[in-house]
Amino acid sequence: MMSFLKSAVKASFGLISALLLVGFAFNAKAQNGNLKKLEVEDYAQWESLGFSSTFSDDGNWFFYDIRRNNDKNEIRLHHLTDNSLKVLPEGSRAQFSADSRWLGYFINPTAEARKKSNRPLRSQFSLMNLNGTDSLIKEDVSSFSFSDDSQFLALKQNVASGKKSKGADLIIRNLKTGTEMNFGNVSDFAWQEKGSLMAMIIDADGKAGNGLQLFDAKTNILKVLDSKEAVYTGLQWRKESDDLAVFRSFKNEDYEDSTHHILTWQKLTSKAPIASIFDQQNVADFPTDHRVLNNRSLTWSKNGQSIFFEIKVWEQKPAKSDKKEEKNDVLDLTDEAPALQIWHSSDVKVIPEQEILARRRREDQYLAVWHLNSNRFIQLANELTESVRLQTDASILIGSDATPYEKDAMFGRGNIDAYTVDIMTGAREKILTKVNYVFAVSPDAQFVPYVEGKDVFVYDIKAKTKKNLSQGLDASFVNEDDDHPTPDKRPYGFVAWEKIGASFFVNSKYDVWQFYTNASKPRRITDGKSEQIRARYNFFNFEDYIDEKQPMYVSLFGTWSKMSGYGIVTPGKSVKRLIFENARVSRLNKAENADRFAYSIESFSDSPDFFVGSGELSDAKQISNTNPFQSEYYWGKTELVEYTNANGQRLQGSLFYPANYEVGKKYPMITYIYELLSDGIHSYVVPSQRSYYNNSVFSQEGYFVLLPDIIFDAGDPGISSVKTLEAAVKTVVDMGMVDEKKVGLIGHSWGGYQAGYAVTQTDIFAASVAGAGLTNLTSMYGMIAWAFGGAPENAHFEVSQERMEVPPYEDVDRYIRNSSVFSIENLNTPLLFEVGDNDQNVDWRQGIEYYNAARRAGKQFVLLVYANEGHGLSQDKNRADYQMRILKWFDHYLKGGPTQPWIQQGIPYETQMKELKNWKK
């Protein structure tokens, strides 16, 4: 269906745009057999769909971002009524007005202009009238926003260079008349929903005139709501109302940092707005020596009666000594504090974790609420219930206490006790002991779903009873296939509560289920288990609740077929499949006020494109045509392969064919590994030098590429990986298309560990490439993972990715037998190993350990060390270099191509530096 759709649409839209005409020209070349191999210089033109795509509210317009390898990016804007296309070069951050008459977007400097300029260049703002020809270009704009009634546009300019405050000019433009008003020193602004009120925070140098102002764009009336020499932040309108809140800083000279007052105004459009202030000095029960934080947004309750925020201990400044220091000539080495941290084995969070949390100001922050009508303060989270799940429409919240299990949590086996927390009184009561997964409380604040063992339960807060809702059902609600050695398996997930709160929706392995709080018979909403098709509810606007009376859209994915698509279902009826293709179907999107939907389709050999149609999707038509020039080049195809691992488990792999495959010819193959990869068989891969492990590039270079699924044995991740690799490679070799003596291996991070380890255990690979991999599990176990908040590796090693179950001192043999460096004598395969010398994830000294071991043992090993790079390479020059060296490495060892000096022998440092200096030559 996919290829038919795309060719049919090209015919129907062929006269619309030059873009599609070009595509037709290339198709004609393809039919004539004038295909060619893709070269590096051809990569620049390649396109990919960006992350931004949306309809206008009326459904008549649709735009999406196009990103190119050559950085010549654009927005493509489709008028869906007359099928016209507008290309907006270098466009980004686009937004429609709610009435669908205007489009605002930024025009970024071109890549060429940025390269030539000796200073940073700023984007231009463009305003386009979608129903006319007029447009507006403005310089020096940092952000913009349309009013909800679509009558006005706010444009905030960039902060002037050298200015200490964050204020800049704000322009409000009347979209009908074109007249503009300018406001100075605005640091933040926000339109009222469903109205024309603009709230503005004023922030000037010296704080003179700072405050909160309210501008009515319809009447041109400006009001000063508050003004002090303070810093105002956190502007927050209540949804679809005229209630407004903001933080105002307050300094106490006896304390470090600042606290904040909270200012609110209710019914701002009425004749008598209600202004309130939360000042901790005048509020009963506010804890002594605490302060109000502004690093988390103010949150209105749904009914507008309460404001949620966070508090933290307020550190006092050290007391000043009255004694004058006596001068003497004796050097006292204890006068200056040492540069010291004290780490203790009883630390629950190690000092690096605590340090990072302190820098982020997230340590020991507690959720609180201010009830406006009664001016009451309630601290919701504390040392007992340190984490409280915020729900803005619930009178009872769920808090968790992990303290009883913190020692186990240090090593990845944590649990919590769950509490109810009354937002009106602060009263808390333990309801669940030693659980892992507790979901959102019901809208009526009476029921709490949670998972215990393999089952879904509900706790009745009023009756103080629990019920097992899933017992006896023929479905798995926790992932029993997960090979991580954790005590509790992760559930497939809570979806949402039904609108009235009498039921809720939960995922099983294949289906969406509806459970009832009165414990009546659960209802399976979808029917994917029989065909092993996974169904998941598709959110369009991240709804709080699901209306069971309305049709539900669900995504569909074949566990073994890898087919995908969408369906529609009403509870109690069967799923109607709307589209289900042997491709990757994704990005389902809906217009706000129209029966118009968009989705994308792609496969490895077919670049992703958008289709637009009605809610049934049966009338969907292709509107985009990315990479039409691909038809000039040879391209590969994909195939699923199946095999079993040493434990008899059924597994799959994705096999990508060489671009110019000839039947009967045997090819070299690159095996890329990580964990479970076969689900990505239909992902289109843009050929690029920035993506150094690139399936399309490998295919173009004449390789088969195998991405096998790997399930690991706890305690023996390396050994089990090798056995699976041997089975997967043998399956492909037995198909008769791959030369078994020309198989390469490649992986990064956890895949890099496997790529470095496997070649010490098996000789089936002619060459291997390992990026940022672990090599010595005993030494890596004791490291700090700086990239993950400064946490120790203990939990990661025992129950997470490494799956080692126990620490090294309990079973050192398993650590040794699964470490590359301890099997160095068995390394018979040339190994290329890459590291970045600023890797905050896998300590780059893991690569050095392997290098030194291989050097001592006389093995063929090349270590690439990229300066100032982390776990993945970020600089284009390094990405391109690494990809080039991978290709040279495999070309030599898998194809018998010429060798390179750096492959065969060590190159002196001074020679290397000279070569880098003369790189272009």
pLDDT tens, position by position, 523-545 = 999 999 999 999 999 999 877 89
Q: Which two tokens stand for residue 857?
A: 């043992």
* Environment class of 663 (CB within 10 Å of its CB; exposed 0-12, middle 13-18, buried 19+): exposed
Res 350: pLDDT: 83
Of the candidates 640, 627, 899, the one whose C-alpha atom is nearest the C-alpha of residue 67 is 627
SS3 (DSSP) at 836: strand
Angstrom distance (rounded) from CA 675 to CA 801: 10
8-state DSSP, 773: -
550: left (phi over 0), alpha (psi -120 to 50) or beta: beta
List C-alpha distances in Å: 199 to 214, 262, 583, 766, 832: 5, 15, 47, 66, 58
How does pLDDT run across 242-268, given as a tens digit for each residue? 999 999 999 999 898 999 999 999 999
Q: What average pLDDT does range 334-339 have in this prediction?
A: 80
Angstrom distance (rounded) from CA 83 to CA 16: 7
Collect all residues with Cβ–Cβ distance below 8 Å to 358 and sequence separation of at least 6.
none
Q: Percent of the chain having pLDDT more than 70?
A: 94
Angstrom distance (rounded) from CA 460 to CA 771: 51
Average pLDDT, the chain: 92
Confidence of residue 33 (pLDDT cuts 50, 70, 90): low
Residue 345 has pLDDT above 70, yes or no: yes
Q: What average pLDDT does range 93-101 have in this prediction?
A: 96
Angstrom distance (rounded) from CA 693 to CA 367: 44
8-state DSSP, 255: B
CB 464 within 8 A of CB 431: yes
Q: Which two tokens stand for residue 792?
A: 């120790």
How does pLDDT run across 694-731, given as a tens digit for each residue? 999 999 999 999 999 999 999 999 999 999 999 999 99
Confidence of residue 192 (pLDDT cuts 50, 70, 90): very high
Angstrom distance (rounded) from CA 549 to CA 498: 10
* Environment class of 901 (CB within 10 Å of its CB; exposed 0-12, middle 13-18, buried 19+): exposed
SS3 (DSSP) at 755: helix
Radius of gyration of the chain (CA): 31
Angstrom distance (rounded) from CA 110 to CA 122: 11
Angstrom distance (rounded) from CA 106 to CA 122: 10
Q: Which two tokens stand for residue 250?
A: 């307050």
Residue 693 has pLDDT above 80, yes or no: yes
Residue 9 has pLDDT above 50, yes or no: no
CB 292 within 8 A of CB 259: yes
Residue 30 has pLDDT above 80, yes or no: no
Confidence of residue 889 (pLDDT cuts 50, 70, 90): very high
Q: What average pLDDT does range 646-671 have in this prediction?
A: 97
Angle formed at CA 703 by CA 700 and CA 705, multiple of 5 degrees: 105
Residue 20 has pLDDT above 80, yes or no: no
Residue 1 has pLDDT above 60, yes or no: no
Q: What is the end-to-end Cα distance of the chain in Å, rounded?
A: 51
Angstrom distance (rounded) from CA 233 to CA 250: 12
Q: What average pLDDT does range 793-817 have in this prediction?
A: 94
Confidence of residue 323 (pLDDT cuts 50, 70, 90): low
Res 610: pLDDT: 97
CB 185 within 8 A of CB 201: no
Q: Which two tokens stand for residue 739?
A: 């030369």
8-state DSSP, 327: P
Place of tokens 């400097």: 109
496-511: b or e for each residue (b if 16 or more CB lie within 10 Å)?
bbbbebbbbbbbbbbb
Mind giving me the DSSP string for 349-388? S-HHHHHHHHHHT-TT-EEEEEETTTTEEEE---SSS-EE
782-810: b or e for each residue (b if 16 or more CB lie within 10 Å)?
ebbbbeebbbbbbbbbbbeebbbbbbbee
Enumerate the β-bridge partners of residue 306: 371
Helical H segments across 514-650, by residue range: none
Length of the chain, in residues = 921
Angstrom distance (rounded) from CA 681 to CA 661: 18
Res 111: pLDDT: 86
C-alpha atoms less than 13 angstroms from C-alpha of 462 in its C-beta half-sphere: 6
Residue 286 has pLDDT above 90, yes or no: yes
Residue 641 has pLDDT above 80, yes or no: yes
Confidence of residue 66 (pLDDT cuts 50, 70, 90): very high
Residue 13 has pLDDT above 70, yes or no: no
Confidence of residue 143 (pLDDT cuts 50, 70, 90): very high
Res 402: pLDDT: 92
Strands 606-613 and 428-435, how do they pair?
unpaired
845: left (phi over 0), alpha (psi -120 to 50) or beta: alpha
Residue 12 has pLDDT above 90, yes or no: no
Angle formed at CA 578 by CA 624 and CA 48, multiple of 5 degrees: 25
Q: What average pLDDT does range 317-322 have in this prediction?
A: 75
Of the candidates 93, 101, 98, the one whose C-alpha atom is nearest the C-alpha of residue 126 is 93
Collect all residues with Cβ–Cβ distance below 8 Å to 270 and sequence separation of at least 6.
242
Collect all residues with Cβ–Cβ distance below 8 Å to 522 and sequence separation of at least 6.
469, 470, 473, 513, 514, 515, 516
Collect all residues with Cβ–Cβ distance below 8 Å to 156 and sequence separation of at least 6.
141, 142, 143, 144, 168, 169, 170, 171, 186, 189
Angstrom distance (rounded) from CA 402 to CA 405: 6
Residue 161 has pLDDT above 90, yes or no: no
SS3 (DSSP) at 565: strand
Q: How many CB atoms lie within 10 A of CB 412?
A: 17
CB 849 within 8 A of CB 770: no
List C-alpha distances in Å: 794 to 263, 748, 807: 45, 21, 8
* Environment class of 615 (CB within 10 Å of its CB; exposed 0-12, middle 13-18, buried 19+): middle
SS3 (DSSP) at 236: strand
Res 26: pLDDT: 35
Q: Which two tokens stand for residue 382?
A: 């504390």
Residue 165 has pLDDT above 50, yes or no: yes
Of the candidates 107, 215, 214, 235, the one whose C-alpha atom is nearest the C-alpha of residue 166 is 235
More confident residue, 112 or 558: 558
Q: Which two tokens stand for residue 196?
A: 């024309």
List C-alpha distances in Å: 285 to 171, 258, 260, 299: 43, 20, 17, 21
How does pLDDT run across 599-632, given as a tens digit for each residue? 999 999 999 999 999 999 999 999 999 999 999 9
Angstrom distance (rounded) from CA 233 to CA 562: 48
| Mean pLDDT lowest among 143-152, 314-323, 697-706 | 314-323
Enumerate the β-bridge partners of residue 266: 274
Res 7: pLDDT: 40
8-state DSSP, 26: H
How does pLDDT run across 571-584, given as a tens digit for each residue? 889 999 999 999 99
Angstrom distance (rounded) from CA 317 to CA 377: 26
CB 656 within 8 A of CB 638: yes
Res 324: pLDDT: 58
C-alpha atoms less than 13 angstroms from C-alpha of 624 in its C-beta half-sphere: 28
Of the candidates 898, 891, 824, 905, the one whose C-alpha atom is nearest the C-alpha of residue 862 is 905
Torsion of CA 446, 451, 457, 463, to 10 degrees: -40
Angstrom distance (rounded) from CA 183 to CA 173: 11
Q: How many CB atoms lie within 10 A of CB 174?
A: 15
| Mean pLDDT lowest among 141-155, 360-374, 831-845 | 360-374
Q: Which two tokens stand for residue 661?
A: 């495959």
